[in-house]
Amino acid sequence: MSLPCSTLLFDADDTLWECNVVFERAIDDFCGWQQRPGLDATAIRRMLGDIERVNSARHGYGATVFLRSLGDCLEQLTGRAPTPEEQDHLRRLAAAVLECRIELIPEVAETLEALGRRYPLVLVTKGDAADQWRKLDHSGLRKHFEAVHVVPEKDTTTYVSLVRRHALDPATTWMVGNSPSSDVLPALAAGLGAVYVPNDNTWALEHAELDFGADRLVTVERFGRLLDHF
């Protein structure tokens, strides 16, 4: 079913390229390094998740904050500051995150190519600006977007601001992303349409309950199915 559309906004991490799975691999390695009798990987992961929640609220998102969280978790586990050798090991564990290695999600490049011939495309991503621009450059997808916005948080105010800045028509503007809490719910609250593209690897802090019967909420099971609607 074709939907009325004038502009498409896109999330980046875990919508265009895999992101959280790269973090998860580093977390698995960290937990394997630190687990011991009486302290299993599940408990370590839970502790790290609590630390990430606090650090994200205080310091934002991205590779540097993630490395800080690993260091804070190690300090809690050991009761002391990490040694230089341990700090080096943490950086090796987080190398893929720190280097912003990119794994494009299937169908993304060709779908953006097709959609870009029909509508203006705008990228809206949150996190550390240097990290996000570096990932975008490495992805080869920059050419598809008429504008790119790296913001500290994606909430309703962010989307309202984008509507004003680009003189968008909310009734025909859609936000496409994998995160209920950052992409879907605040976009709907701002009067936009939202397209939910589930990703099994979505970060736990991005989860939220969705009303799948909500007006102007569309779900597609994979990225390429956007072409069924736009």
Report how many domains make up the chain: 2
Task: Indicate whether 173 belongs to any domain.
Answer: yes
Q: Which residue has the tokens 């009067």?
A: 191
For residue 84, what are the contacts with CB-CB under 8 A and spacing of at least 6?
A: none
What are the pLDDT digits (tens) for 146-156? 999 999 999 99
In a shared domain, residues 118 and 207: yes
Q: Which residue, 106, 104, 115, is CA-closest to 140?
A: 104
> Domain check: are 112 and 78 in the same one?
no
Show which of 98, 125, 149 is a domain's final residue: 98
Tokens of 166: 């680009």
**Which portions of the chain are predicted below pLDDT 70?**
none
pLDDT of residue 23: 85
By CB atoms closer than 10 A (0-12, 13-18, 19+), residue 167 is exposed
Neighbours of 221 (CB within 10 A): 9
The CB density around residue 171, as the number of other CB atoms within 10 Å, is 12
* Distance in angstroms (rounded) separating the CA atoms of residues 27 and 24: 5
The tokens for 36 are 């011991």
pLDDT tens, position by position, 155-197? 999 999 999 999 999 999 999 999 999 999 999 999 999 999 9
* pTM of the complete model: 0.81
Which CATH number characterizes residue 134's domain?
3.40.50.1000
Helix (H) or strand (E) holding 92: helix 84-93
One domain for residues 128 and 81: no
